[in-house]
Structure 1
Amino acid sequence: MARYVKISCLTAPQLRVPPETGLEDTVVRMIAFWERQLEQVLPDRPDLIVLPECCDRPEKSGYTAERMKEYYRYRGNRIRDFFARVAAERNCWIAYSAVRELEDGTFRNSTQLLDRSGSVAGIYNKNHLVEGERTNGGMLYGKDAPIFETEFGRVACAICFDLNFDDLRLRYAAQKPDLILFSSAYHGGLMQQYWAYSCRAFFAGSIYTHATSSIISPVGEVIATSTNYYHYVTRTVNLDSVVIHIDYNEAHFRKIKNKYGTKVTIHDPGLLGSVLLSSETDEFTALDIIREFGLIPLDDYWERANAHRCAPGNMEP
């Protein structure tokens, strides 16, 4: 059954607040700043808003590590609670990325996923910090790769430097998320598309304004981006989609279209050899089509190909 979700990736530069500014004034300015940013996407009524890494950290120029910690401690959960109120009032999810202090006094670089009621539905702690976040910022590395269940699908999170590490990507690929939320200060280039295709998941990345924010399909195709003029992007995607290879499946494509017409989309991004099959109806799911026509999902096809390679007599001595 079609699972449409409207996603906004909201990019913004870090707010410049001189370090000698009072902490209360800094928090007030930060909330006002994000109120202005949200005004750009809220009229489109997104189901989900993704924010960049450390979105409520002042621009660091002039800040010592200790002054930044003072800010974090004073801020507490106030800005998270501001976003939670927005989520509840506007009936949307928000991926809020920020440094947070735990009860034991240690820090994490985290994405907190706020649901439509404003509650914290899950927390992801950045697994792969850059070294300075630990040595200068006092943060600890995260160790878990959780999947969060939402009404529109299974969601994973990654933050900035995470995108460079295969161990985290492969842990997510094994769990088969529908959507990866990426909050970052760095873009990652082709790694964004590689993660999307490797995990067979849609990818929504929110990056600071020096680079574009993007929404990417499970076949690694960039389907929407922010621009140099408008630092946000909103797009509706259909999470009821399955990646399949053309081999052994293509013979059924015309039969599927003849029977179901616009109720099924088979999208070829070109050059890849794989297509994205999506159900555009409430009558059946993409997996129902897979079963009805005996199609082979991509990961099953790779396993079959490897098994055939290793079968007795098939490999050179």
Structure 2
Amino acid sequence: MSKYVKISCLAPPLKEVDPGQGFEGVVNQMIEKWEEHLQHVLPERPDLLVLPECCDDPAFKDMSMEWLYEYYRYRGNRIRDFLAQAARTHRCYIAYSANVEMPDGSFRNATQFLDRAGEVCGTYNKNYITIRQKSTSDTLYGNEAQVIQTDFGRIACIICFDINFNELLEQYAEQKPDLIVFSSAYHGGLMQAYWAYTCRAHFASAIWRPDYSSIVTPVGEVVGESTLFYPYVTRTVNLDSVVVHYDYNWEKLELVKRKYGTKVLISDPTRLNAFLVSCETDEFSIQDIVKEFDLELLDDYWMRCRADRGKPGHLEQ
């Protein structure tokens, strides 16, 4: 059956603060900032809010790294707790990305996933922080990357620089996420579509302005994007979908459309020869369609191609 999920990605500009008010004043200024910007998307009743990397970092002229980490220590979980209350009130998930202090005094660049009750249902620590961040702070590299289970699907989290590393991509691809959440300070360019396609997953990014936040399908199509003047984007995606190749499926897909019409959506991004097939009804699921019409999933087709190449007499000597 269809699994519609409404996603809001938001990344307003860094908040210029008055450090003269002390750490307490700065924390309050950051809470006020997010209280204001959440109102741009909460009326749309999203299932998931994605915030950018280090979303509660303040900014002011000549701010030092020492001051920033002292701010982190003072802030603790207060901004996360504010967002948790918003998650409870509006019954949504929130991907909260921030530098957090560990019990041993070291830090992690982390995404904490808040559920509809405001509880942390999963945490991802950035596996590939930059050399600069490691050399100028007590932040350590993360060492795990596990999908997070939600009531609408399996979520993979990555943060900024992570998007450049195939080791992490391959680790997530094996876990078959439904959605990749990308909290970042830069866009990543073609890597967004590459991650979405490789994982056969939708992709939602929140990226600091002036770059654009976007929502991408498993076949690399951008279905929603923020703008320079409106740093928010909300779209509904259907996670009850599969990716299939043109070969050996074309005639079957024609039969699917003739029988089910608008109940099944076939999206062709062109040039890729791979289609996204989605179930648009609660009468059945996309797996029911796969079974009824014997559709061959893209990964299964790739496996069959590799096996055919390895058959006796098929490979040049």
Unmatched 5+ residue regions in structure 2?
A: none
Q: How does 1:107-186 map to 2 (within 5 A)?
A: 107-186=107-186
Amino acid in the other structure paired with 2:258: N
Q: Is the 8 A contact 1:92 1:115 kept in 2?
A: yes
SS, match of residue 24 in structure 2? helix
The Cα shift of 1:63 comes to 2.1
| 1:31-63 C-alpha deviation (Å, 9 max, x unpaired) | 000111101001101010000000001126422
Q: How does 1:1-317 map to 2 (within 5 A)?
A: 1-59=1-59, 61-317=61-317
Q: Is the 8 A contact 1:19 1:63 kept in 2?
A: no
Equivalent pairs, count: 317
Distance 1:106 1:218 in 2: 36
| 1:157-180 C-alpha deviation (Å, 9 max, x unpaired) | 000000000000111111110000
Distance 1:34 1:132 in 2: 28
Amino acid in the other structure paired with 1:96: Y
Unmatched 5+ residue regions in structure 1?
A: none
Distance 1:124 1:60 in 2: 28
Amino acid in the other structure paired with 1:240: D
SS, match of residue 118 in structure 2? coil
**Residues 157/60 of structure 1: CA separation in 2 closer, same or farther (3 Å cut):** farther
TM-score (norm 1): 0.98
Extract structure 1 runs of 4+ deviating beyond 4 A: none
Distance 1:63 1:131 in 2: 20
Distance 1:140 1:18 in 2: 29
SS, match of residue 173 in structure 2? helix
Distance 2:307 2:7 in 1: 39
